[in-house]
Amino acid sequence: MTHLTKNFARPEKNEEVVTFGSLDPSVQELLTAAFQVRQRAYVPYSGFKVGAAFRAKDGGQIFSGCNVENAAFTPCSCAERTAVTKAVSEGATEFSAGAVLAYEPDVFTTPCGVCRQFIREFANEDIPIYVAQAFDARISEKKDVLQSEDPVLCTSIFNLLPSSFHTYRK
């Protein structure tokens, strides 16, 4: 084995699906923040609302963000990048956990490739990423809060983006 792979981002956590109600209250709080900010998603083009929230490693403050679209399409910001950019702007540059919420009927909405790289920039170790389903924003079956039995995918940034590019600046 060569030393050239020793800093590669290898997953340190297993992926599993658990219920919302079984999660630690601090994780429930993070998912709830993502759920709430999702309602502010600016999505006149896709109608696809996403909410994200990240907990700062120092101090534990939660920073949340929604996706913000644009008529020119290219300048769209995903919810994850809105949240992380808000946090970094406020001085929080390392996170202990993240949460993402959207609604597709048969699949968890995991962060896009660009967002995985964006999150990785501010995660020097493998941090958990919690992914849950919200209600469908295009129909009116609105739930007020996440329910205890709702499924949550517990993954991590190194599961989502193994062997990532990171060390250039160090």
Residue of the chain from 80, 83, 130, 156 that contacts ligand THU (CB under 6 A) = 80
Is 80 marked active-site? yes
What whole-number distance in Å separates Cα of residue 65 and Cα of residue 140? 22
Residue of the chain from 78, 131, 137, 153 that contacts ligand THU (CB under 6 A) = 78
Q: How far is the CB of 117 from ligand THU (least distance, A)?
A: 12
Answer yes or no whether residue 46 interacts with ligand THU by CB under 6 A. Answer: yes
Residue 76 assigned to a binding site: no
From 25-33, 107-115, 132-140, 141-149, span contacting ligand THU (CB under 6 A): 107-115
In the numeric block, which tokens belong to residue 130? Answer: 């919690």
Q: How far is the CB of 55 from ligand THU (least distance, A)?
A: 18
From 1-9, 43-51, 54-62, 134-142, span contacting ligand THU (CB under 6 A): 43-51
Instruction: Tokens 């769209």: give the residue.
Output: 76
Residue 154 assigned to a binding site: no
From 14-22, 24-32, 42-50, 153-161, span contacting ligand THU (CB under 6 A): 42-50
DSSP conformation class of 42: B
What whole-number distance in Å separates Cα of residue 151 and Cα of residue 87? 27
Instruction: Tokens 């963000």: give the residue.
Output: 65
Side by side, which strands form the sheet with 62-66?
16-19, 151-156, 128-133, 95-102, 51-56, 62-66
Taking Cα atoms as reference points, which of 119, 123, 134, 154 lies closest to residue 27? 154
With vertex at residue 80, the alpha carbon angle to CA 125 and CA 100, rounded to the nearest 5 degrees, is 85
What whole-number distance in Å separates Cα of residue 25 and Cα of residue 22? 9
Rule CB under 6 A: which of 108-167 touch ligand THU? 111-112, 115
Q: Which stretches of the chain bind ligand THU, using CB under 6 A?
A: 43, 46, 48, 50, 67, 69, 76, 78-80, 111-112, 115
- Annotated binding-site members: 78, 112, 115
**Residues within the annotated binding site for Zn(2+)?**
78, 112, 115
